[in-house]
Amino acid sequence: MLSTVTPDEALKISAAAFGGLRTPAESCPLAEALGRVLAEDIESPEYVPGFDRSSVDGYAVAAADTFGCSESSPALLRLRGRVEMGRAPEFALAPGECAAIPTGGRLPEGADAAVMLEYSEDYGGGLIGLTKSAAPGQNVVFRGDDAAPGRAVLRAGRKLRAADIGALAAMGITEPAVRRRPLVGILSTGDELVPPDRVPGPGEVRDVNAPMLCALVRGCGGEPVELGIVRDEIEALDAAVGGALERCDILIITGGSSAGERDSVSRVISARGRLLFHGLAMRPGKPAMLGDIGGKPVFGLPGHPGAAYFTARLLVAAQIRSMLGLEAQPRRVQAKLTENLPANDGRELFCGVHLRTENGELWAEPIRTKSGLISALAASDGTLRVARDCEGLHRGALVTIELEDGD
């Protein structure tokens, strides 16, 4: 019989069994690439920018012509011409000459710096006075400063942000190679369950877990596949699992995992593959399990929504990130507890919290709720994890809060 494992041990078991799995690469239009994960390093195919350009409105100059100038002794230069946006200058600067240039304008040959307009004076007759010297390269973005052929700009495994989309556009990369979103099947079990759009009859409840887990999977970068509700029958569950694994990379089954129930999920997993663990030393979420069927991860999560939520955030989210080549990087904040928390009972506590700011300090208020209740959890701002051997926390204690993806 498998022994209960800690949350950290569960993550290690999952990583050892499935850490090498990756979804294949696919091309993605740039307009749809936000939030996708790069499958390979991105090297620029060209120089960005493709020419030396000014970063200020002012005058393009040879820096040597401005050395030693000041307000009392300006450098006097002849205006050679004006640089127009979007066009290459048709002239070069000779010693003692300058050119009017806008921000982003291409430097003419012979110029290696730009002086801001504020430090100039037009004396008329084509004579420009400059009151501040410029060092070579000052106020200039040189060809290839942003990107150059052979230089890696973005690394594989990066989750693309808005600025990354801009960088790809600047390099002319319009269909980057990204990891395909893992297909995550979500199967609910229970004779008492009905779809959310139905009015429950006597003894029935709406299926909360499926839409909740679909949203969680999508937020982690996966593609949820809602597989419906299966009755508490071994044969029906076995058939549903077999069909799901033909089309999905990961399978989540909620319900049917607690001791005292028929424990149909563990029986199906054991019959089709192997059970890696059954039981987590965490509260809520003790009945959770993980199996391996044909090299694919199968998570058995508790039926109570709160327990399903916390175990999915712990286990399923980590597996999705792993298949995308992402390292788990939860966002954390420090906050003070608003109340005392008692000692743990040998299981790590996962507790939703409300966050609020008082007098410039961030406070975390634990949400007291049973694992079967979802309304209080829906209003939480993050998760507090309390170690299994913790002897209690006092009001005002500084704790770490994990924020949800997208918070």
What distance in Å separates the CA atoms of residue 225 and residue 317, rounded to the nearest whole number? 15
Binned at pLDDT 50, 70 and 90, residue 372 comes out as low
What's the pLDDT at 342?
85
What distance in Å separates the CA atoms of residue 98 and residue 109, rounded to the nearest whole number? 11
Question: What are the backbone angles phi and psi of residue 262, rounded to the nearest 5°?
Answer: -70, -10
Q: Mean pLDDT check: name the lowest of 70-74, 122-126, 345-349, 360-364.
A: 345-349
SS3 state of residue 194: strand
DSSP letter at 261? Answer: B
What distance in Å separates the CA atoms of residue 64 and residue 60, rounded to the nearest whole number? 12
Binned at pLDDT 50, 70 and 90, residue 262 comes out as low
Q: What mean pLDDT comes out for the span 210-214? A: 96
Task: Annotate 72-114 with DSSP letters as a single string.
Answer: SSPEEEEEEEEPPTTS--S-BPPTTEEEEE-TTPBPPBT--EE
Binned at pLDDT 50, 70 and 90, residue 82 comes out as very high
Q: Is the pLDDT of residue 379 over 80?
A: no
What's the pLDDT at 344?
75
The CATH number assigned to the domain with range 27-45+147-179 reads 3.90.105.10
Provide the percentage of residues in the chain whose pLDDT is more than 70: 95
Q: What mean pLDDT comes out for the span 32-49? A: 95
Q: What mean pLDDT comes out for the span 336-355? A: 88
Instruction: State the greatest distance between any 2 C-alpha atoms of the chain, in Å, as a whole number.
Output: 97
CA distances from 372 to 260, 265, 285 (A): 17, 19, 11
Q: Is the pLDDT of residue 357 over 80?
A: yes
The CATH number assigned to the domain with range 7-23+181-324 reads 3.40.980.10
What would the two tokens of residue 397 be? 């204690």
Domain residue ranges of the chain, discontinuous segments joined by +: 7-23+181-324, 27-45+147-179, 53-141, 332-402
The model's pTM is: 0.84
What's the pLDDT at 390?
86
Question: 296 burial class (0-12, 13-18, 19+ CB within 10 angstroms)?
Answer: middle
Q: Quickly name the fold that domain 53-141 has.
A: Molybdopterin biosynthesis moeA protein; domain 3 (2.170.190)
What distance in Å separates the CA atoms of residue 277 and residue 280, rounded to the nearest whole number? 8
Q: Is the pLDDT of residue 260 over 60?
A: no
Residue 249 backbone zone (phi > 0: left; psi -120 to 50: alpha; other: beta): alpha
Say if residues 337 and 396 touch (Cβ distance below 8 Å): yes
What's the pLDDT at 257?
53
Task: Annotate 297-324 with DSSP letters as a single string.
Answer: EEEEE-SSHHHHHHHIIIIIHHHHHHHH
Say if residues 299 and 316 touch (Cβ distance below 8 Å): yes
Q: Quickly name the fold that domain 332-402 has.
A: Beta-clip (2.40.340)
Binned at pLDDT 50, 70 and 90, residue 341 comes out as confident
Q: Is the pLDDT of residue 175 over 80?
A: yes
Average pLDDT of the chain to the nearest whole number? 92
Q: What mean pLDDT comes out for the span 262-276? A: 91
What's the pLDDT at 60?
98
Residue of 245, 225, 249, 246 lying closest to 322 (CA atoms): 249
Q: Is the pLDDT of residue 370 over 80?
A: no
Question: What are the backbone angles phi and psi of residue 18, rounded to the nearest 5°?
Answer: -130, 5
Q: What mean pLDDT comes out for the span 235-249? A: 96
